[in-house]
């Protein structure tokens, strides 16, 4: 029994010793490899930079003193991939040419077929940085990969490569939310920018409803002026989601010429469309929208009233005057929203501060204004100010106004 | 990175990203400029005084003092107030560009950049401030 114990201890000891030796050797080899990589990189990097900065079309291999070894090819690929994020234009094209000349594109395309998903994902990402048109078709195929990470990296790569053939499958992917996160694809298309507009317009009618909603969102965020006609016609679409997204998109594009279309959308039977139209009118800032926005502040839906009031607040003095006028509206909900927006715009604070002005007309105007706010039955904030504001004059003036009975017509918020 | 070469314009490059620093350095050196590299805000301020470069190419993201602080310090110091500064940065938001130009930067190029455009802008600044 004792002998057996000794044998076991010896065996375990021997195993541990072997393991330690293996770890030490492995570490030494790795460090040696890293040192060699650093030395080779220090030699190769200036040559690559010289190639990238050159005005001639000399290929990378002509800059290198000898045909690259396997290690050097790996290092060249790493230097080129890292440099790819620094530059654009003709230097970027030279990076692509270098990848193609070194066979790195071919290798990465082969890796797209790997049985291991992380190798496919890595290859897709590299191909995006390499920006070779030769990779478009294989990447399009990877958009049907069973692994979501591979699909999204392939989509991102196509977005980086650009060109019609790359963008078309991305637009198609907007239509397939069961397999794609529409938001991520939309972000990729937005990063592509104006190049994506024509493809989105061409494919729009072929997309299902959810795809069209995403496409309108992308077109708005790209601010593609060529999409104005489509957006305006979508304001009349039978689907309220499409109408609402078109109204939103028109605000993002920001062409004041679309004000009449958005004013018409304030009458839409669906409140999300009316709310988006109001928001967009605020972005356009066209004064001709002030009157319709005042009316929209009486809408039966809170979001429409809020967006209309906010839009007026963003429309400069004319908008603030309209909000002040709305304090006397016959509609209690519009009055409440006007108070809320004037409060948000710090207009009320400004008048409160003027309650103690030495200039009588200014003081009288401030009293009239606060009277109107009080009559609009939104006195809670003023009551707080009357109790807590630092200036005694303001406290007294506010307390005096608040003691006066409010005229009838107030009500709760819908 | 470089020793003084008579007749060559001296450019100081400051970038927190080592690869970007080396890349821009090599690009400018290969185009006939005398290049010096700095990796943080404090060394930029020291080198700007000791090397008296003709131009500073600087990233806004730097260890220690950032690009804005360096720019502010350079413009507030009589010895370096007239040093032209070109910002070369990954930051491309409108407010960053406006802030840098209002602090006295001559030009702003955002990354990723076109090497030809960068060289053209540098030539233009050197001509303008020569």
Q: Is the pLDDT score of B1 beyond 60?
A: no
Q: What is the ipTM of this complex?
A: 0.88
Tokens at residue A295, please? 């009316």
User: Cβ contact (<8 Å) for A89 and B19?
Assistant: no
Which chain A residues are closer than 8 Å to B19 by Cβ? 82-83, 86
pLDDT digits (tens, 9 = 90+) for B61-104: 999 899 999 999 999 999 999 999 999 999 989 999 999 999 99
Per-residue pLDDT at B110 = 94
Q: How far apart are CA A91 and CA A87, in angstroms?
A: 6
Per-residue pLDDT at A406 = 46
Q: Which residue out of A43, A86, A95 would a mutagenesis test of the B interface target, given it has the greatest number of B Cβ atoms within 10 Å?
A: A86
Q: How far apart are CA A308 and CA B89, in angstroms?
A: 40
Q: How far apart are CA A245 and CA A262, in angstroms?
A: 12
Could you report the average pLDDT of every consecutive run of 10 residues in chain A (414 residues)? Answer: 87 93 94 92 92 83 88 93 92 93 93 95 95 92 89 91 86 73 85 90 91 93 92 96 96 94 96 97 95 94 94 92 89 88 86 84 85 69 64 71 51 36
pTM: 0.71
Question: How far does the CA of residue A51 sit from the closest CA of chain B (Å)?
Answer: 10
pLDDT digits (tens, 9 = 90+) for B24-47: 999 999 999 999 999 999 999 999
B22 touches chain A (CB under 8 A): yes
Q: How far apart are CA A14 and CA A7, in angstroms?
A: 10
Q: Which residue out of B26, B33, B116 would a mutagenesis test of the A interface target, given it has the greatest number of A Cβ atoms within 10 Å?
A: B26
Per-residue pLDDT at A410 = 39
Which chain A residues are closer than 8 Å to B31 by Cβ? 53
**DSSP helix/strand/coil, B10:** strand
A46 touches chain B (CB under 8 A): yes
Per-residue pLDDT at A374 = 78
B112: preceding bond cis by omega (within 30 degrees): yes
**For A93, nearest residue in chain B (alpha carbons):** B114
Question: How far does the CA of residue B103 sit from the closest CA of chain A (Å)?
Answer: 25
């Amino acid at each position: 029994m004792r002998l057996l114990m000794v044998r076991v201890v010896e065996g375990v000891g021997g195993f541990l010793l072997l393991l330690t030796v293996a770890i030490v050797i492995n570490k030494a080899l790795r460090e040696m490899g890293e040192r060699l990589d650093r030395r080779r990189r220090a030699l190769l990097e200036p040559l690559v930079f010289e190639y990238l900065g050159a005005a001639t079309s000399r290929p990378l291999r002509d800059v290198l003193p000898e045909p690259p070894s396997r290690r050097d090819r790996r290092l060249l690929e790493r230097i080129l991939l890292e440099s790819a994020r620094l530059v654009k234009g003709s230097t970027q094209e030279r990076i692509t040419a270098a990848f193609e000349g070194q066979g790195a594109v071919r290798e990465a395309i082969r890796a797209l077929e790997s049985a291991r998903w992380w190798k496919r994902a890595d290859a897709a990402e590299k191909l995006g940085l390499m920006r070779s048109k030769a990779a478009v078709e294989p990447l399009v195929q990877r958009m049907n990969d069973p692994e979501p990470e591979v699909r999204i990296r392939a989509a991102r790569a196509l977005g980086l490569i650009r060109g019609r053939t790359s963008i078309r499958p991305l637009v198609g992917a907007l239509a397939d939310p069961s397999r794609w996160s529409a938001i991520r694809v939309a972000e990729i298309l937005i990063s592509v920018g104006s190049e994506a507009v024509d493809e989105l317009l061409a494919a729009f009618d072929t997309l299902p409803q959810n795809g069209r909603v995403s496409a309108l969102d992308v077109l708005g965020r790209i601010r593609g002026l060529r999409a104005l006609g489509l957006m305006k016609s979508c304001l009349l679409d039978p689907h309220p989601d499409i109408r609402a997204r078109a109204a939103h998109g028109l605000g993002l594009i920001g062409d004041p010429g679309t004000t009449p279309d958005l004013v018409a959308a304030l009458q839409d039977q669906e409140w999300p469309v009316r709310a988006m139209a109001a928001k967009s009118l605020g972005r356009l800032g066209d004064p001709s929208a002030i009157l319709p926005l005042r009316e929209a502040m009486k809408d039966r839906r809170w979001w429409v009233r809020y967006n209309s009031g906010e839009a007026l607040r963003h429309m400069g003095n004319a908008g603030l005057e309209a909000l002040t006028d709305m304090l006397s509206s016959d509609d209690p909900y519009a009055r409440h929203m006007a108070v809320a927006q004037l409060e948000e715009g710090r207009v009320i604070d400004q008048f409160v501060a003027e309650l103690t002005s030495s200039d009588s007309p200014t003081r009288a105007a401030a009293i009239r204004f606060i009277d109107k706010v009080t009559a609009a039955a939104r006195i809670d904030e003023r009551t707080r100010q009357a109790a807590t504001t630092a200036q005694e004059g303001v406290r007294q003036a506010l307390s005096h106004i608040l003691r006066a009975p409010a005229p009838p017509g107030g009500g709760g918020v819908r | 990175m470089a020793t003084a070469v008579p007749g060559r314009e001296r450019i100081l490059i400051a970038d927190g990203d080592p690869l970007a620093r080396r890349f821009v350095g090599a690009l400018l050196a290969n185009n006939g400029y005398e290049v010096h590299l700095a990796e943080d805000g404090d060394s930029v301020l020291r080198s700007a005084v000791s090397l008296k470069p003709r131009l500073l190419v600087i990233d806004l993201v730097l260890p220690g003092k950032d690009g804005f602080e360096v720019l502010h310090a350079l413009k507030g110091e009589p010895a370096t107030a007239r040093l032209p500064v070109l910002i070369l940065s990954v930051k491309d938001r409108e407010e960053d560009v406006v802030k840098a130009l209002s602090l006295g930067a001559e030009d702003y190029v955002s990354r990723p950049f076109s090497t030809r455009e960068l060289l053209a802008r540098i030539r233009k600044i050197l001509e303008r401030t020569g």
